Amino acid sequence: MVKKCKLTGTTNSVRIKTWPDSTVAFPASDMHFEDIEMVNVSNTVIINQEYRPWNQCNRKISNVSLKNVSGTSVTPVAIKIVCSQSNPCESGSCFDLTYSGSGGSIKSQCANVKSVISRKQNPPICGEPAPIDAPSTN
């Protein structure tokens, strides 16, 4: 659990990254982020499993929760969740997410995400599909 943090001017904040050729055999699960404040952050929430050139991560991400997470994003995509095509993310929950753009409107993008439970979100979680063939953020 990550709780009661303030991040200012960082490139990444809430981030989950798995590597396609990892030798670790267990899933990435039960990760909880609560009471997180972000100020002028580039990637406020980023979950990414589609790394070039492999694009097939065999690690499942599940049971990730975000609660009372807020702040300002310096990029138009405040939330980006791109999970593995072969093992989509499951059982996510997002409660009380509030972001504003430091330079205008913001959005969220998702790909290969199943069963997200949500309440009070700005921008709406998984508001549009993420371009999974675009270069990833490291």
- Opening angle at CA 65, ends 43 and 11, nearest 5: 15
φ, ψ for residue 130, nearest 5 deg: -85, 140
| pLDDT value for 132 | 60
| pLDDT value for 121 | 73
| pLDDT value for 52 | 59
- 66 exposed, middle or buried (CB, 10 Å; 0-12, 13-18, 19+)? buried
| pLDDT value for 25 | 63
Q: Per-residue confidence of the chain (138 residues) as pLDDT tens digits?
A: 999 999 999 999 999 888 766 676 678 889 999 999 999 999 889 988 876 555 567 778 888 988 888 889 998 888 888 888 888 888 887 777 777 877 778 888 888 888 677 677 777 777 777 876 544 444
pTM over 0.85: no
| pLDDT value for 24 | 67
CA separation for the pair 22, 114 (Å, rounded):
23
CA distance readout (Å), 98 to 19, 37, 38, 56: 29, 10, 10, 31
Hey, what are 81's tokens?
């969740």
